[in-house]
């Protein structure tokens, strides 16, 4: 799967890229929301994994922008963030994230969530 990963921490970005490539995915990265949106518009990914707290366009606005675009609106989006309150989890879902994981995320948890989100998307497309 081609996954766009967005995080403003270069260390977190590199770690996520290595983990996802280890799982067999093709990874494209961005360090901010504006760059991520440009990348997604130019070559839509099959999935988005994004931090919430980003400079400029934050994760919420990134996903809202994607949901408004017909070419990007159905791309599954996983938030990977340090924000864990029930209010923040609800806000992430309302913005358009498919699911939310709280940092730090173990590789097995991330792999399971990608699989779950992929299966949900496939079953919705069958309807």
Kindly report the pTM of this predicted structure.
0.93
Q: Which domain holds residue 26?
A: 2-125
Are the C-beta atoms of residues 87 and 43 closer than 8 Å to each other? no
User: Where do the DSSP E strands lie in the chain?
Assistant: 2-6, 26-30, 47-50, 77-81, 99-102
Banded model confidence at residue 84, pLDDT cuts 50, 70, 90: confident
24-36 pLDDT, tens digit per residue, is 999 999 999 999 9
Check whether 123 has a pLDDT greater than 90.
no
Q: The domain spanning residue 89 has which CATH number?
A: 3.40.50.2300
pLDDT computed for residue 122 by the predictor: 72
Find the angle CA(100)-CA(101)-CA(104) to the nearest 5 degrees: 155
Tally of domains in the chain: 1
State the pLDDT confidence band at 59, using cuts at 50, 70 and 90: very high
54: three-class secondary structure by DSSP = coil
What's the mean pLDDT in 34-39?
A: 97
In the prediction, which pLDDT does 124 show?
Answer: 65
Say if residue 125's pLDDT is above 90: no
Q: What are phi and psi of 7, to 5 degrees?
A: -160, 135
């Amino acid at each position: 799967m081609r996954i766009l990963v967005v995080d403003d921490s270069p260390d977190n970005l590199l770690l996520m890229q290595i983990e996802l490539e280890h799982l067999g995915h093709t990874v494209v990265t961005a360090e901010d929301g504006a760059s991520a949106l440009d990348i997604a518009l130019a070559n839509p990914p099959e999935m988005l994994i994004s931090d919430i707290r980003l400079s400029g366009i934050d994760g919420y606005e990134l996903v809202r922008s994607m949901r408004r675009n017909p070419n990007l609106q159905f791309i599954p989006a996983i938030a990977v963030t340090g924000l864990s309150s029930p209010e923040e989890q609800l806000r992430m879902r309302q913005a358009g994230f498919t699911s939310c994981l709280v940092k730090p995320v173990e590789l097995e948890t991330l792999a399971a969530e990608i699989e779950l989100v992929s299966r949900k998307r496939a079953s919705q497309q069958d309807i």
